[in-house]
Amino acid sequence: MAGTDEDNIPAASGSPDASLTQDDSFTATSHAGLTYPWGDAAPGAGETIRIANGISWARIPMPGSLGHINSWLLDDHQGVAVVDTGICLTMCSDAWKALYAGALKDKRITRVIGTHLHPDHIGLAGWIAKKQDVKLWMTRGEMLTARAIVADSSDTAPDEVLTQSRAAGWDEAAIEVLRSRGWNMFQRMIFTLPRSYVRIEDGERLDMGAHQWRVVTGSGHSPEHACLWNEKEGVLVSGDQVLPRISSNVSVNITEPDADPLGEWLASIDKLLATVPADVTVCPAHGEPFKGLHVRLMALRDEHRMRLYNLAEAAAKAPLRAVDSFPLLFNRPIGEHNQGLATGEALAHLKRLEVEGRVRREDRDGVWWYHGVA
């Protein structure tokens, strides 16, 4: 991991783009019908904006295309609970120091809550927990997966990654670059996690004195992502499960190569539609707080369904590999810096079509070709 004490937090991640944290799917999605009560306002360094009774908004800057992560500060028993933290970089830790000297001056941090395992969400969770002498709260699926990834570090990419990339249609030059890049980017962006944590689970109500926050989990972007819903105040802290302008990356990865993450993602959208009212104020990890939860969820669902339709239509005309599907799925160029995440998402769409019986996969000398099914 990136550090064991605050003097060990690096100034740079070694990544050309912090969107490698896996939050962005490379596809712009419609946000028509949403309203933004605070417009394009955002809290500055050391500042917070009050969203509703029980919750304030801080913004932590990050490098790369995303540019920031929102941290949500929940009023807790005689203090403040922190939800999501930023990457283990000095620009993020400096933002927290500014908050301690500013809006959080004389306020006690009571706990750190990670919505999910990606480094921009828990990269400084261990640092804040250690500095403030508090516990980290996460779902079991997120915590155990984070620990498994942290333990899997290598100077070269694992054979399983190379095999999957070759199967997706990568050429040998790209595979050789991948092989030499190493397998420790995740570890470099996360401060040492505490050995113990407090488990949260779906349906649980987190007691924060005057406010109760219900845990609503989703899957697909990550194993057991936790949203927090304050029913009384009508506020949903959505993490990456619902973002206003981008669709979160949904990928097949080597830890579960036969999984159907897009199926899980679509099921999670249906669950949120059925569980959380349409009129809540949504507090996302990236972008601005907004109204229009159900409009946004239906847009995400429908746009994924349209991409699946286009992909099935293309496979019916001629067999294709995962790399051949990029122009059908993404509206930006896919190059060396983002080919890995694009491949994971392409495989997720193709796996969903397999599960639905709309394509079949053929292995030709280690390369997967997908055929349409009449």
Q: How confident is the model at residue 29 (pLDDT cuts 50, 70, 90)?
A: low
Sign (positive/negative) of CA torsion 302, 308, 312, 314?
A: positive
What does the pLDDT read at residue 57? 98
Residue 147 confidence (pLDDT) above 80: yes
Residue keyed to tokens 């694009």: 342
Characterize 151-183 residue by residue with b for buried, 16 or more Cβ atoms within 10 angstroms of its Cβ, and e for exposed. eeeeeebeeebbebbbbbbbeeebbeebbeeeb
Q: Provide the residue ranges of all domains of the chain, joining segments of one domain with +.
A: 6-372
CATH T-level assignment (fold) for domain 6-372: Metallo-beta-lactamase; Chain A (3.60.15)
Between CA 22 and CA 142 the distance in angstroms is: 14
What does the pLDDT read at residue 21? 45
What does the pLDDT read at residue 174? 93
Between CA 235 and CA 291 the distance in angstroms is: 10
Q: At what angle do helices 339-355 and 261-275 cross, to 10 degrees?
A: 80
Q: What is the pLDDT of residues 206-259, one digit of tens each?
A: 999 999 999 999 999 999 999 999 999 999 999 999 999 999 999 999 989 999
CB atoms within 10 A of CB 203: 10
Between CA 203 and CA 200 the distance in angstroms is: 9
Q: How confident is the model at residue 13 (pLDDT cuts 50, 70, 90)?
A: low
* Global model pTM greater than 0.85: yes
For the residues 190-194, what does the mean pLDDT come to? 96
| DSSP letters for 316-349 | HHS-B-TGGGHHHH-SS---TTTHHHHHHHHHHH
Residue 356 confidence (pLDDT) above 70: yes
160 three-class SS: helix
What does the pLDDT read at residue 20? 38
What does the pLDDT read at residue 313? 97
Between CA 69 and CA 56 the distance in angstroms is: 14
Share of the chain above pLDDT 90, in %: 82
For the residues 300-323, what does the mean pLDDT come to? 97
Name the token pair of 160: 């399983």
Q: Across all residues in the chain, what is the average pLDDT?
A: 92
Give the CA distances from residue 32 to residues 29, 297, 325, in Å, rounded to whole numbers and listed in that order: 9, 12, 26
What does the pLDDT read at residue 180? 87
What does the pLDDT read at residue 24? 47
Residue 17 confidence (pLDDT) above 60: no
DSSP 8-state class, residue 1: -
The rounded radius of gyration (Å) of the Cα atoms in the chain is 20
